[in-house]
């Protein structure tokens, strides 16, 4: 059985690679390379999987998952500049692909034994751009 919970956070970032020229950054990232950055209202989905408990009829208690995800991710990312204020994103271009992997890695590294297995992290950057991680990234 899988359970997916949704969380929201707002954050800013600038997509700009020091390995690229100004022209290459403009071509690669377009308006996302704005020197002042830009923001998104992200939607984070965290999916867990495991057996349904025969007594409670649930795969887990949602408040337990909520407490963990808010502590590890939402409180760290909400209303932050991802380029400058989130340690796990220091020195990388914080594309939503990179952000999704960083979120998965952080959750996976701190995952409590009291929760069923982490199955998936999905990050909605916009209604058209959705990124998903289903196993620990390399």
Catalytic residues: 32, 79, 125
Question: In sequence order, what E strands does 14-129 have?
Answer: 38-49, 80-81, 117-124
* Token pair belonging to 1: 């059985």
Collapsing DSSP to helix, strand or coil, 77 comes out as helix
Give the angle subtended at the CA of 124 by the CAs of 92 and 109, to the nearest 5°: 55
Contacts of 14 (CB under 8 A, 6+ apart): 32, 33, 34, 35, 36, 37, 38, 83
Under 8 Å between Cβ of 113 and 50: no
């Amino acid at each position: 059985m899988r359970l997916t919970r949704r969380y929201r956070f707002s954050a800013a970032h600038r997509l700009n690679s020091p390995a690229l020229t100004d022209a290459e950054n403009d071509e690669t990232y377009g308006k996302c390379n704005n020197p002042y950055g830009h923001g998104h209202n992200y939607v984070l989905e965290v999916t867990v999987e495991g057996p349904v408990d025969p007594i409670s009829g649930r795969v887990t208690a949602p408040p337990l998952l909520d407490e963990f995800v808010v502590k590890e991710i939402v409180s760290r990312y909400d209303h932050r500049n991802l380029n400058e204020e989130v340690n796990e994103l220091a020195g990388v271009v914080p594309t939503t692909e990179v952000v999704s992997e960083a979120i998965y890695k952080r959750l996976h590294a701190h995952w409590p034994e009291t929760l069923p297995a982490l199955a998936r992290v999905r990050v909605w950057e916009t209604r058209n751009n959705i990124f998903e991680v289903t196993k620990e990234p390399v």
